[in-house]
């Protein structure tokens, strides 16, 4: 799907209202305040690659504000990645402000208010995807929003050139390839969030347990497919007691057993919603992520997501928007 909207040719008095409606229809509801007195100018192009929306905004200096009122009007929660191509700006969300310069990458969550200030004529690429497909904890995403991501290093150095290429080639891909590219973007973005969330993890008074908790989470994520993964095996691998392991997870708001189950369900839900030429069976997905009992998997999935695994997959494959978050 190709959308091209522009204020060119409109009466000056109608341009701002048209621009507000264009951004709302294509991305999410928000309000635009121009930073210039001259007649406003803006152009928006957008493509759909599976569940990924790829948009380019070229416009005069402005402030884009998303408030609680706008959020209440929205259908679905999305994570957006902004790739600044030209001009300078700043994104504020969750009490932080990230400066934007050409080549800069920034992450924001449409489920929370934000302001995006563009101080000069600018060009911004926006990559928007449902928050659910990332299968990341809300706390991890929020630690990364409105932070200045280091350019050309780590996952940022991998994701930025990929997104840049995607902008220039978006319209040439078939629907099947577009869905696969959307999956690649979600995988790279999830890896970036995980990397940066660890860097921005709040201090806990200098406790030595902070580093251990991070290593435990990494170990669990790497061994979710192992049916034998349990508090006992995790504790034994790290040469700590099970009691100490449970103490490490007191700050997570759930036991490690529950967290392992949640992570497995997140990976299953993400794989079941992925479109492709051949859809894996529900049982194969469950086994791949460490579930040995099909009935237990089905009950746990329904408890977490409000529908069976088959209903989840059917909803994801027959609608433009994947099912809602648990």
Residue 188 has pLDDT above 80, yes or no: yes
Residue 133 has pLDDT above 50, yes or no: yes
Higher pLDDT, 298 or 154: 298
Higher pLDDT, 184 or 134: 184
Higher pLDDT, 272 or 44: 44
Question: Using CA atoms, how far apart are residues 97 and 71, in angstroms rounded to an integer?
Answer: 20
| Pick from 45-49, 227-231, 237-241, 289-293: least confident | 237-241
Residue 92 has pLDDT above 80, yes or no: yes
Is residue 301 within 8 A of residue 312, CB to CB? The reply is yes
Question: Using CA atoms, how far apart are residues 304 and 26, in angstroms rounded to an integer?
Answer: 30
User: 2-199 belongs to which CATH class?
Assistant: mainly beta
DSSP 104: -
Q: What is the pLDDT confidence band of residue 27, given thresholds at 50, 70 and 90?
A: very high
Q: Where are the domains of the chain?
A: 2-199, 209-318
| Residue showing tokens 């194969």 | 284
DSSP 306: S
| Pick from 69-73, 111-115, 146-150, 276-280: least confident | 276-280
Q: Supply the pLDDT for residue 325.
A: 44
86: its two tokens: 């030209």
Is residue 251 within 8 A of residue 139, CB to CB? The reply is no
Residue 100 has pLDDT above 60, yes or no: yes
- Planar angle of CA 42, 44, 49, nearest 5 degrees: 170
317: its two tokens: 């494959």
Mean pLDDT of the region 24-47: 92
Q: Supply the pLDDT for residue 323.
A: 53
Question: Using CA atoms, how far apart are residues 84 and 150, in angstroms rounded to an integer?
Answer: 14
Residue 69 has pLDDT above 90, yes or no: yes
Q: What is the pLDDT confidence band of residue 326, given thresholds at 50, 70 and 90?
A: very low
291: its two tokens: 């579930």
Q: Supply the pLDDT for residue 271.
A: 87
Residue 254 has pLDDT above 70, yes or no: yes
Question: Using CA atoms, how far apart are residues 52 and 198, in angstroms rounded to an integer?
Answer: 26
198: its two tokens: 């660890």
Write down the architecture of domain 209-318 according to CATH: Orthogonal Bundle (1.10)
Q: Supply the pLDDT for residue 203.
A: 46
Please, which residues have CB within 8 angstroms of residue 173's CB and are 6 or more apart in sequence?
Answer: 49, 181
Name the H helices within 200-224: 209-222
The burial class, CB within 10 Å (0-12 / 13-18 / 19+), for 156 is middle
Q: Supply the pLDDT for residue 308.
A: 92
Dihedral angle sign, alpha carbons of residues 274, 280, 286, 287: negative
Is residue 178 within 8 A of residue 49, CB to CB? The reply is yes
324: its two tokens: 């809602």
Q: Supply the pLDDT for residue 124.
A: 97
Q: Supply the pLDDT for residue 127.
A: 97
């Amino acid at each position: 799907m190709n959308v091209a909207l522009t204020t060119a040719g409109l009466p000056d008095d109608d341009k701002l209202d048209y621009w507000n409606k264009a951004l709302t229809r294509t991305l999410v509801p928000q309000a635009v305040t121009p930073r210039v007195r001259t007649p406003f100018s803006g152009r928006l192009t957008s493509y759909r690659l599976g569940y990924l929306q790829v948009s380019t905004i070229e416009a005069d200096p402005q402030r884009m504000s998303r408030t609680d009122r706008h959020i209440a009007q929205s259908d679905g929660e999305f994570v957006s990645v902004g790739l600044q191509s030209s001009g300078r700006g700043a994104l504020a969300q969750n009490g932080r402000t990230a400066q934007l310069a050409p080549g800069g990458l920034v992450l924001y969550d449409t489920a929370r208010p934000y302001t995006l200030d563009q101080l000069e004529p600018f060009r911004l690429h926006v990559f928007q995807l449902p928050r659910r497909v990332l299968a990341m904890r809300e706390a991890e995403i929020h630690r990364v929003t409105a932070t200045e991501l280091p350019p050309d290093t780590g996952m940022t150095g991998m994701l930025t050139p990929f997104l840049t290429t995607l902008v220039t080639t978006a319209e040439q891909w078939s629907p099947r390839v577009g869905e696969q590219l959307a999956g690649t973007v979600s995988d790279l973005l999830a890896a970036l969030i995980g990397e940066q969330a660890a860097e921005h993890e709040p201090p806990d008074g200098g406790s030595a347990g902070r580093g251990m908790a991070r290593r435990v989470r990494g170990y669990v994520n790497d061994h979710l497919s192992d049916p034998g993964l349990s508090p006992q095996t995790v504790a034994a691998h790290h040469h700590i007691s099970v009691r100490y392991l449970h103490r490490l997870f007191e700050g997570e708001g759930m036991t490690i057993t529950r967290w392992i189950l949640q992570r497995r369900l997140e990976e299953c839900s993400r794989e079941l919603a992925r479109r492709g030429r051949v859809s894996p069976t529900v049982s194969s997905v469950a086994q791949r992520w460490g579930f040995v009992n099909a009935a237990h998997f089905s009950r746990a999935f329904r408890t977490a997501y409000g529908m069976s695994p088959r209903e989840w997959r059917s909803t994801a494959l027959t609608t433009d928007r994947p099912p809602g978050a648990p």
